[in-house]
Structures are given as C-alpha cells and as structure tokens.
Amino acid sequence: MVQDRIASIQLTLLVAMTAIGTHYLAMPGFVARAAGRDGWLSLLAGAAVAGLGVWAVASISRRFPDKTVVQYNPALFGRIPGVFLNIWLLAHFTLAAAFGLRFFGDVLKLFLFDRTPLEVIMIAMLLTAAYAVRHGVNVLARLAEVFFPVVIPFWGITMFFLQMQVDYANLLPVMDQGLKPVARGIFPGYMVFQGYGLMLFITPLLQDSSQAMRAALGGIAITLFIYLVTFTGAVGIFGAQHLTLLIYPVVDLVRALTLPEMIIERQEILLLSVWILVSFLALAVAFYLVSFGASQVLGLKEFSPMVYLVLPLVYLAAILPPNAAQVIALSRMLGGSFVLLSAIYILRAGLLGLWPARRA
C-alpha cells in the first residue's frame, strides 16, 4: 500500500469540507450584503470562477506531475518572483488557519461558552489539530471521509424541515436591479469557495493525478449545492434586507426552525457541535498546508517538526485581532489575497502556451 497518496473521492471531500468549514456560518449574510436577494446567482458565478481556478491549478500541475506549488513556482515564474510567491502562499495559509481558528473560537464563545476564555477554546482546538496534522495528509483525508457522513445527515434533516417555513417568493424578482448586484456579489461569492486552494499542494499526492480536476470540481459542486440550499433558505426565511444584518445567519436559520413536538430546544447548539467537525477539518488542512509547504521550501524531508514551528505562529495570528471588526478585516484581507493569487495562477495557466514553463 502506498502511503501518503490520496484517492480522488478524498480530494473531493477535502475541497468541500475545507470550504464549508471556514465560511459556511457567515456565508449567507456575507453574500447578501453585496448582492442582496440575487446572491444565489453570485454564488453560481463564484463557483464558475472557482471552476476556472481548478482548471488553472490542474493544468499547471500537469506540467509538474510530482511537484507541489512551492517546488514549481520558481520554474513557473522565475526564481525571485517564485520565492516571493512561495512566501506569500505560506503567509496566506497561515492566516487562513489563524482566521479559521479565531472564527471558530468566537462562534463557540458566543453561542456555547460565554464564560470560558477564548484562549482555552482555541488552544484545545489547535493542539487537537496538531495531533491530526502530524499524521499527514492521509489522516486528514480519511477524517474527511469519516466526518462527511456524520455531518451530511444532520444538515439534510435540518434543511428538509426548514423547507416548510421557507417562502421562496422572497427570491423574486430576479435581477430587478440588473446585473450590478450580482457582479458585486461575485467577490464574496467566489471567496467562500476558498477551500480548493489546497489543490496547489495536494495534487501531486493523488493516487491518480489525472482525476484531480474532476475530483476538485466535484468538491466545488457539493459546496455549491450546500450553499445554494442554505442561501435560498436564508433569504426565504429572513428576506434579503434582514439577512444583511445577521453575522451568523446559518445559526439563526437553524434557530428559526420550529417543529411541532420538539425533542430538543436550542437546536443551534446541536448544529454547532456538528459544525465543530467540519471546522476542525478546515483548520487542520490549512495548518497542514503551511507545515508541509514550509518544510518543502526549506528542503526538509519530514514535515512533522514544522508543525511545532507553525503552531505558535497560527495561534499568535489568531489571538492578535482585538475585536470582531479586526477579525472581519482579516477575512477581507484573506479574500483579497486569495483573489489575487487566483488571478495570478489563472493568467499563468492561460499563458502556458505562450510562455512555457521551464523544467523544474
């Protein structure tokens, strides 16, 4: 059995769960603020852009079958821009991990543990993530396979029962203000698909790398489906106006669920407990990418020592923002960085014919 190779279904689930784990809870409000009730169109457009990004990464990876992004960057962009890009990528994923951690801590503190210090929640989570990351990407991929069937039934049942309360008329009229709001929504609509960035590092680890594109597109499709159902449900229940005011609309959505003869009250706690799994995975993946990428930049054979170097960095970056506004600023910055990086790689992939890459 080959170690540290992952199957394409695992890549699919990783892409989906990494995206959902970081952005799901805030996504509807985030998109609605930019695009209003037409946000679902923005999500579709965003997914299309993400598909383009997947194509870019997959076609670049095909030129460098056994190399990760930090290994082929110098060959692709030239030595100095390549090194610069590597540092940028590592910083980006460090901040992504930090944002995931902080966001998670904030949500948990807000809804579950108002008296537990944020630090305790974050450290417990981070140490658990370190334990997983040290085992390598195989374990993360298998965890995705374990968690997916745990999470999806919960989500499906919730959404199923919500349908009775959703008023889809709230989605109408479609595009009454023209294309402008939809276009404005593409930026947030694309950002929420960030998870597929892990392809940059993980494609060479696939059992069958020719499947990379299909697998990642599958992941984006799953994400898109979940987002669309959630967004339309949120608009249908709250209306676009109200939705823009909510920070964690998904939590409110679940809270709004009322069933006759409820067995449990405050079902959002249940949702959050299950969401811990997905969120954990997203954090662990970002954490892994940084450790793995850094070890490759430094030319180390083993990446596990890097885990302990990256851990305090992630923690510091996560604890640094003093308030929620700063955390949101961090998320915007990450989004901007992600869009820029995507643009660079999509352009570069498009120019592969004109400007062939040197052999690494």
Report the interface residues with other proteins, using CB under 8 A: 1, 7, 9-10, 108, 112-113, 116, 120-121, 124-125, 128, 131-132, 135, 139, 141-143, 145-147, 262-267, 269-270, 273, 276-277, 280
Minimum CB–partner distance for residue 102 and other proteins (Å): 15
Compare residues 146 and 316 and give the one whose CB is closer to other proteins. 146
The nearer residue to other proteins, 38 or 252, going by C-beta atoms, is 252
Give min distance, CB of 275 to other proteins, in A: 9
DSSP character string of 178-218? TTHHHHHHHHHHHHTTGGGGGHHHHGGGBSSGGGHHHHHHH
The smaller minimum CB distance to other proteins, of residues 70 and 151, is found at 151
- Tell me how far, at minimum, the Cβ of 269 lies from other proteins, in Å: 5
Output phi, psi for 206, to 5 deg.
-70, 150
User: Which pair of tokens denotes residue 189?
Assistant: 């609509």
Q: Which residue, 41 or 251, has its beta carbon nearer to other proteins? A: 251
CB nearer to other proteins: pick between 177 and 258: 258
Name the minimum Å distance from CB 265 to other proteins: 6
- Output 140 or 250, the one with its CB closest to other proteins: 140
**In 3-state terms, the chain is what percent helix, strand and coil (to 5)?**
80, 0, 20
CB of 271 to other proteins, least distance (A): 11
Query: How distant, in Å, are the alpha carbons of 22, 83, 309, 347, 360 from that of 100?
Result: 6, 26, 18, 28, 33
Helix-helix angle 249-256:137-162, to 10 degrees: 50
Q: Roughly what angle, to the nearest 10 degrees, separates helices 267-297 and 118-134? A: 50
Least distance in angstroms from the C-beta of 132 to other proteins: 5
d(CA 128, CA 311): 11
Q: Report, in Å, the least distance between residue 133 CB and other proteins.
A: 10
DSSP annotation of 359 reads: P
CB atoms within 10 A of CB 12: 22
Exposure string over 317-349, b if 16+ CB within 10 A, otherwise e: bbbebeeeeebbebbeebbebbbebbebbbebb
Nearer to other proteins, 98 or 125 (CB): 125
